[in-house]
Structure 1
Amino acid sequence: MQLTKELFNMTEKILIIGGSGRIGSSVAADLVNHTKADVTITGRDVETGIKVAEKLGNKVNFLALDLAEKEKLREAITTSKIVIHCAGPFHYRDANVLKTCIEEGVDYLDVSDHRSFTSKALEYKSAAEAAGITAIVNTGIFPGISNSMVRQGVEKLEKTEKIHLSYVVSGSGGAGITVMRTTFLGLQHPFVVWIDGKWQELKPYSDRETVQFPAPYGRIGVYWYDMPETFTIPDTFPVQTVITKFGSVPDFYNYLTWWVAKTWPTNWIQNRYVIEFLANVSFKMTNFTDMFSGIGVAIRSQVTGEKDGKTANYCSTLVHKNTAVAAAYGTGSIAELILEGKLKKPGVWPVEQALPTDLFEQTMVSRGVKIQEEWF
C-alpha cells in the first residue's frame, strides 16, 4: 500500500472536490498553467463535468462524485498528492474531506470562506501535525490572498495596532450560484469581531463605510461581513482591532442586501428555501448586469501601527478583472509551492499562518498580479 501511494505521489495527482464549478475549474486551469500535475475534477453533474474537463485540456479528468459517497471519496483521496476542496457553500460542510486526507496522508487545501467551517477544520490541527500533513484553509482571494497582503503589511511595521480589510466584487465576480448562496447565508446570524482589544457582536451588513479603491472602482460603500479573517487574523497577529468589510457594484446590490439583512424576519433569512430563492434571483440579475459592471474584484488592506517610533499606515491594494480567476491564483499558487517542496507545514492553518511573504510575492509575480503599496 505504501509503495503504491509513493508511486501515485510521483505522478503529482491533484484532486479538486467541486472542480467542475466556476471556482474549482478556475483552480484547475491555474494548475494546468503552472504545474505538471494531473488534475481530477469532481462534481455531481456528469455532462457538465465532462465538458469542463475537455475544455481544460488533456491533463484534466472528470470523476462523478457526491460527498455523501464516502468510500468513493476516500478512494479518490488515497490516489492523490493534494486534495483541494472547492465544494461550497462551506456553511453546510463538515470537515470529513480534511479528516479523510489526514487518515490517508494527503495534503489538503480549501477555498472555505465561513467561520463555522474554519473552526471545524482547525480542530484537526494536532491530528494533521501528527500525520505530517500540510492542511491550509481559506486559500482563495478573500480570504486567501487578502490574508497574505495583511501579513505583508504587518511585517513592514515594528508594531501593529489595527487591520482594516475591505473587499468589493463586480456583479457575480465570474463565480457561480454557490457564491450567491454564500452571500445570503452570511446574513443569517450576528457575529463577533475583535475591536479595541475585545470581542464585540455585530449584525451582518451593518455600518456602511465609503472606502477609496483603485481604478476602475473609486469610492465604494462597504459593510461589515462575517468572514474567517475576523478571528484568524487576531489569533495570528497581536493587534487591537480587525475590520472586515465587503461591498458590491453596482451599488444598488449593496442596498438590496442591506435591506434584506435589516428588515427581513430572522426566520426567513435562516430558511434554506428563502436562501435558494434569493441566490437564484441574484444570479439572474448579476448575469445581466455583468455586461456593464464586469466581474472583477478589488482588495484594500490597511495596516496601522508604528515604524521608526512614529504612527504609520501601510496600505496595499489589488485589482483583478475576474474574481474567480483571482481566487484560483490564491489556491493554485499554494498547491504549486507544495508540489515543488517549497511549502511544508504539518498541521491545519489559515493561510496567513502558513505562507511566508517571500513565497507569496514570488507566486503573485509569476501570475502577473500587481499589488500596489502606499504609506501615509
Structure 2
Amino acid sequence: MARFCLQLNAGIGRNLAMAFAADTGERKNSRKIERVELPEKVRNSRVLILGGTGRVGGSTALALSKFCPDLRIIVGGRNRDKGAAMVTKLGNSAEFSEVDINDSKSLQETLKDVDLVIHTAGPFQQAEKCTVLEAAIRNQTAYLDVCDDTSYAWRAKSYMNQALDANVPAITTGGIYPGVSNVMAAELVRAAKTESKAELERLRFYYYTAGSGGAGPTILSTSFLLLGEEVVAYNKGEKIKLKPYSGMLNIDFGQGIGKQDCFLLNLPEVRSIHEVLGVPTVSARFGTAPFFWNWGMAAMTYLLPAETLRDRSKVQQLVQLFDPLVRAVDGVIGEKVSMRVDLDCSDGKTRIGIFSHKRLSESVGISTAAFALAILEGSTQPGVWFPEEPEGIAIEARETLLSRAAQGTINFIMNKAPWMVETDPKEIGFGIYS
C-alpha cells in the first residue's frame, strides 16, 4: 500500500493539489475569505438563516456576508437582543426576524420573499417533523439544512415528490460533517472509478473535534442524544448494529492534528454513502479531546439507560450540568477539527482525503456557506438531495465547493496514499521513499 503514489485526476484533483498542498504556509495562516461574484440574477438574494443567533447559524451568516456582501441576510431566531447583536456584526444588508420553527404560521410569514432558507436550529435528533422543509416547499423557497441525524435526513428525503412538484431545490445534511465529508467521499469514489476497474470495498469516516468545538450547548445535546442510538454500519452489503462509542481505533489525522482515538457513532452519511455511492462496507467514528472526554462518553453508554439518553428533556439537564465544565476545558484545549475519509478498493489501493481546521466554529460556517452558494448558483436540481448526489451538488461544482469550504484550513488533501499523510512519515522507514 505504501509503494504507490496516486496521480490526481485532471480537473478537481490537479487543481486541489495545487491549491491545497500541505506546504502552502502562507495559506495556512490566512483566514480571509475570498469574495464570490454571484450571477446578477441572484446577487441580491434574500437568505434566511434559522438559528442565526446560535454558534453554527451565526458563523454561517458571517461567512456568507464575507463571501457575498451583496446578499441580504435575514437572521432568524427567538431572541431579539442576540439578533440585534448579530445584525450589527453583519452590517446594513442584514436584518433580524423573530421566528419559532415549531410554529408553521410564524415560519410561513418569515419565508415570504426569501430565496433560500438555511436551517441550523438543531439539535435534529428526535425531531418528529421537517417543519422548515415543509414550509420551504409551500413557499417555493430553496432549502439547506445542517442535519446530523439519520432519521431526520431520511424523513427529509421522503419529501422528494413534493419538492419536485414545487420546483424546489433542497439539500439535507449539508455543512461540514456531514456535508463536506460526503462530497469528499463522492470525489474519492469518482477518482477510484476513473483510475481503475477495481471494485469499491470499504469507506470509513473519521472525525475529530477538540472539546465541544466552540459550538456551544447544541453540540453537547447532539453528542449525548447520539449515545442513545444504536450505531448502524454496513459490512459487505449487510446492515449491522453496534454499540455506540465502541470499536475504538487510533487514527492519524496528519499534520496539525496527529493521532487521535475515534469511536463508532450513528451518523447519517453512513447510510447515504452506502445507498447512493454503492460502497458495501461503510462506518463512521468520532473522537474528541482531552482524552477523558472520550472515557466519559463511553462510560455514559454503559452507566445510563439508552432511554435516558434518548429523552431530550433529560439530555438537556445533562447539558446544563456539564456545560460550564466543557466551556472551561474548551478555553484550554481549543477547537481544532479534522475529517479523514478512507476508501479501500479491491486492487489493494487506499485513497484518503483529510480536512483540518483550527476552529470548528469558524469552519462549520464557511462549509455551510459553501453549500448555500452552490444552491444559489444553480448547482442543485429540484428535489431533496444528499450532498454526494450529483443532483444535489453537481459533479462539476464539487471542486468549487471544496475549495471554498477549505479556506483557512491547516491541512486539506484529496486522493492520496496513506503513507503520504502520516504525521511522522519517518516511522515507516526510509526505504519506502527510495
What is the TM-score of this pair, normalised by structure 2?
A: 0.80
Q: How does 1:43-82 map onto structure 2 within 5 Å?
A: 43-82=77-116
- Pair 1:362–1:11, CA change in 2 (3 A): closer
Specify the alignment match of 1:171 in structure 2: 211
**Inter-partner Cα distance in structure 1 for 2:64 and 2:311:** 37
Specify the alignment match of 2:5 in structure 1: none
Specify the alignment match of 2:46 in structure 1: 13
**Inter-partner Cα distance in structure 2 for 1:57 and 1:252:** 41
Specify the alignment match of 1:259 in structure 2: 299
Specify the alignment match of 1:321 in structure 2: 358
Task: Give 1:282 shift.
Answer: 3.2
Specify the alignment match of 1:4 in structure 2: none
- Opposite residue 174 of structure 2, the aligned amino acid is T
**Inter-partner Cα distance in structure 2 for 1:10 and 1:250:** 43
Specify the alignment match of 2:401 in structure 1: 363
Specify the alignment match of 1:3 in structure 2: none
How far does the alpha carbon of each residue in 1:205-231 deviate from its partner, in whole angstroms, 9 at most, with x for none?
111111111233211111110111121
Verify the 8 A CA contact 2:64 2:366 in the aligned structure 1.
Answer: no
Task: Give 1:184 shift.
Answer: 0.2
Specify the alignment match of 2:417 in structure 1: 375
- Opposite residue 130 of structure 1, the aligned amino acid is D
More strand as a share of residues: 1
Specify the alignment match of 2:134 in structure 1: 99
Which of 219, 229, 242 is residue 282 of structure 2 equivalent to?
242
Specify the alignment match of 2:143 in structure 1: 108
Task: Give 1:172 shift.
Answer: 1.6
- Opposite residue 105 of structure 1, the aligned amino acid is Q
Verify the 8 A CA contact 2:380 2:393 in the aligned structure 1.
Answer: no
Verify the 8 A CA contact 1:148 1:357 in the aligned structure 2.
Answer: no
Gaps of 5+ in 1: 1-7
**Inter-partner Cα distance in structure 2 for 1:171 and 1:85:** 24
- RMSD of equivalent CA atoms: 1.8
**Inter-partner Cα distance in structure 2 for 1:327 and 1:125:** 26
Specify the alignment match of 2:386 in structure 1: 350
Deviating more after overlay: 167-176 vs 329-338: 329-338
- Opposite residue 349 of structure 1, the aligned amino acid is W
Q: How does 1:122-141 map onto structure 2 within 5 Å?
A: 122-141=157-176
How far does the alpha carbon of each residue in 1:263-282 deviate from its partner, in whole angstroms, 9 at most, with x for none?
22233323334311222233
**Inter-partner Cα distance in structure 2 for 1:281 and 1:360:** 41
**Inter-partner Cα distance in structure 1 for 2:163 and 2:311:** 35
**Inter-partner Cα distance in structure 1 for 2:112 and 2:264:** 40
**Inter-partner Cα distance in structure 2 for 1:324 and 1:111:** 14
Verify the 8 A CA contact 1:20 1:48 in the aligned structure 2.
Answer: yes
Which of 247, 250, 253 is residue 210 of structure 1 equivalent to?
250
1:269 and 2:309 aligned: yes
Verify the 8 A CA contact 1:14 1:39 in the aligned structure 2.
Answer: yes
- Opposite residue 190 of structure 1, the aligned amino acid is E
Task: Give 1:10 shift.
Answer: 7.6
Task: Give 1:242 shift.
Answer: 0.4
Verify the 8 A CA contact 1:329 1:364 in the aligned structure 2.
Answer: no
Gaps of 5+ in 2: 1-40, 194-198, 419-434
How many equivalent residue pairs?
365
1:31 and 2:64 aligned: yes
Verify the 8 A CA contact 2:171 2:387 in the aligned structure 1.
Answer: yes
**Inter-partner Cα distance in structure 2 for 1:329 and 1:260:** 32
1:153 and 2:188 aligned: yes
Task: Tell me the secondary structure at the aligned position of residue 78 of structure 1.
Answer: coil
**Inter-partner Cα distance in structure 1 for 2:221 and 2:185:** 27
Task: Give 1:357 shift.
Answer: 4.5
- Opposite residue 161 of structure 2, the aligned amino acid is S
What is the TM-score of this pair, normalised by structure 1?
A: 0.92
Task: Give 1:291 shift.
Answer: 2.3
Task: Tell me the secondary structure at the aligned position of residue 222 of structure 2.
Answer: helix
Task: Give 1:17 shift.
Answer: 0.9
